[in-house]
Structures are given as structure tokens and as C-alpha cells.
């Protein structure tokens, strides 16, 4: 398995839960909180890039089904009272991932867009 993961307790929990649930071929958990109006060292905004043979099953045939599967595993973290405010998911089947690797498109998965303001419900960033 190829893994690149953000550090911190929330990122570690996300990594552990997804690894246990999906035995991924590839897993990246990127903390993108620094791109948002949150205090320094926050763990509130994440991007998960995951590829797994578990997604080759009929129940995970569509991208939406794969996203639902990831969200179900991380239900506590993404709950309204959980630590994760935003979760971006790139979930690929093993065949899709292998094709991306062969075509050199893995690095094309860039960061999420910068925050455009939000609803003001999060604490202000300490500068």
C-alpha cells in the first residue's frame, strides 16, 4: 500500500479507520485546514485519496457509492458535532487507480480550492 498521510490525531484516526475498512492499495489523507479560516494547526478540512479492491464490488460500482462508503466509515468524524468540517473524497477502484498510475495522472490530483469565506461558524484564524 502506498500511503502519504497528514499528521495529527484526527488524520491518524481517519487513516486507521479507512485502512481497516478498505485495505487500500493507496491512501492519502491530506489536512487542508491551512487553506481555510481556522486556527493554526487545525484538523477540520481533509482530502482523502483512496484506491481499493473493495471498491471493485457491485455495491461500490459508482463514485457516489464509494463516497457513501467512505463517509459511513468516518461517520463519527463528519457528524455535525465531529471534528471534521469538510471532507473531499477521491475514491478509485483498483483498475482506475492502476490506469492513473500507468498514465502518470496520480500527481494530477491537486489540492481542493481555497476557501471562499464559509459561513462564519468556525473560530477565526490566529495570525
Entry pTM: 0.85
The answer on pLDDT for 117 being more than 80 is no
Question: Which residue intervals of the chain are DSSP H helices?
Answer: 9-22, 63-73, 75-78, 94-102
Do residues 32 and 117 make contact, with C-beta atoms less than 8 angstroms apart? no
pLDDT confidence bin for 110, thresholds 50/70/90: confident
State the chain's mean pLDDT as an integer. 88
Report pLDDT for 120.
56
Helix, strand, coil share of the chain (percent; to 5) = 40, 20, 40
What CA–CA distances, in Å, run from 119 to 45, 48, 83, 106, 112? 14, 23, 17, 32, 18
Rounded average pLDDT over 89-115: 90
- Each residue's pLDDT tens digit, 11-65: 999 999 999 999 999 999 999 888 877 888 889 889 999 999 999 999 999 999 9
Report pLDDT for 123.
56
Amino acid at each position: 500500500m502506498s500511503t502519504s498521510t497528514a499528521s495529527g490525531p484526527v488524520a491518524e484516526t481517519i487513516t486507521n479507520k479507512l485502512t481497516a475498512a478498505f485495505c487500500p492499495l493507496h491512501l492519502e489523507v491530506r489536512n487542508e485546514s491551512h487553506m481555510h479560516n481556522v486556527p493554526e494547526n487545525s484538523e477540520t478540512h481533509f482530502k482523502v485519496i483512496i484506491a481499493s479492491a473493495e471498491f471493485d464490488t457491485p455495491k461500490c460500482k459508482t463514485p457516489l457509492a464509494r463516497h457513501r462508503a467512505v463517509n459511513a466509515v468516518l461517520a463519527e468524524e463528519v457528524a455535525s458535532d465531529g471534528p471534521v468540517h469538510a471532507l473531499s473524497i477521491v475514491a478509485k477502484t483498483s483498475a482506475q487507480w492502476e490506469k492513473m498510475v500507468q498514465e502518470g495522472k496520480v500527481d494530477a490530483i491537486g489540492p481542493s480550492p481555497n476557501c471562499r469565506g464559509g459561513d462564519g461558524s468556525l473560530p477565526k484564524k490566529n495570525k
